[in-house]
Structure 1
Amino acid sequence: MKAFEFIKPVTKFAKDHSNIILTVAGSAGVVATTLSAVKDTKKHALNIAYAEYDWSKRDTDDPLPKKERFVVAMKSYWPTIILGAATVTCFVANGVISEKKIAGLGTAYNVAVTSFNEYKKSVGKRLKETDISEMKKEESQTEAAEQTSDPVEKEQKIIRTGKGETLFKEPISGQMFYSSPEEVRDVINTLNADISQGEAQTLNDLLDGLGIQTSSLGDDFMWDVMETGNIAITFDSGVYMGREPYILLDHRNMPMYMAPAFR
């Protein structure tokens, strides 16, 4: 277990800075390959001279065959070949990792744009249906209704999980629900136990454990022992509709977006 605790931060650092590490390694590889090639060229000239001398001892006037020259070249340049292959591997791996990160960011951007466009359409539709004066009148009526409404009517907008009577708000999904602090802590502890064992947990796993509605994108956001660590939530406070206090589940460790194509 102690060895694992030591390896975990090292692995996380390597993943977070993989592009920089591979770029530095590739640049160093270019320099090392050049120096090795210069050194091996001198060695190759000497090896070829020895090979031609040995070949001249044979009863033939033919020059040293190309096959023999190739074998001598491979023996002379093998350090340069290995360094060159490692350098190319670093640059190729850097390109693949960069492509994955760009694809993930692009998908996240598309998700945000889609959500904004849906919101803009709903607002635009409302503006077409009513003019500004009617909207102001409607807002005034809504505020008056909220001030005189019965608490039972407000509770219809909140999810009742049957696990407590304390009002909570989960900020990522924006849902409000009734539960208990003990129940919420148990759910988080259970998920964190699985994360500590190396099993990733998604946002939908958290929402489902809390007894509220999951999201169509909830499986694309997750906590992982190497990338994000455990779920870290603190209890903050807020007031619902200006009257009813609630506990805000303040995420100190947000889930990581993982595009389905790169899982």
Structure 2
Amino acid sequence: MKIPTGLVPKAERFLKKASPTILTCIGAAGVVATAIMAAKATPKALKLIHSDSRINHDGDPNAYTKKEAVASCWRCYVPTVIVGGSTIACIFGANALNKRQQAALASAYGLVSQAYNDYKRKVRENFGEEAHRDIMRQIAAERSSGATIISPNLINGSCLEFEGANEEQRLFYDAMSERYFQATISQVLQAEYHLNRNFALGGGFITLNNFYEFLGIEGVQGGDDIGWMVSDGLYWVDFDHSRAMVDDGLNGEVECFIIDAPFPPVSEAEYDEYL
């Protein structure tokens, strides 16, 4: 029987990707199997212990010592020990593979993030700021079919709007985290203001997730480790605003406001390289 072309590579990729899950399932099954085998082996072990005790202690089935008991019954538990050891190996193996995959994903994300920042910088250098904004509008339009992130209220009871102000919720696209959310224009402008206020009063460092807290939306993974730092020429976090018409998949084209930062947030290591 001829194996279809490409089937083996696909199977290899599937096994490589799913190996942590497979090992975890085997480990879970192994825990159950170890318990069952130990329970089944115990009556046989007790029978052997009592039998040997009668032989060694003039017919007394309970006169055995601990050492004699182990010598009499250890063979009964050999399969149980093998299964238990294999189970432990599967659990540790799944953990090791999972850590390796996470490290690979983190490395890939770092490369993609660096490439994206380099791309934005080169677009600005070679084609100007307007070309960059046009590309951001196109990206927003292409991704508008995804689910939007709705955040009608701010977190922790912190209100950035004037009491009684009845402003319209609008659709925004955050280019830094590449996601949509809903807020009022006042909320966004107040969030940018308070971010810069804390930037100036808080020792010259503000994180990306601090900005999302002011917006009232969830932070992103790694957002507490990157941000903006005071340096030569950077004492204020600037934001770019642009507007585009996007298809929300329900009502046709709707107005979308795009938020981007000319100076993207960086980690401390990246900041040290710029100095």
TM value normalised by structure 2: 0.38
Structure with bigger helix share is: 1
TM value normalised by structure 1: 0.40
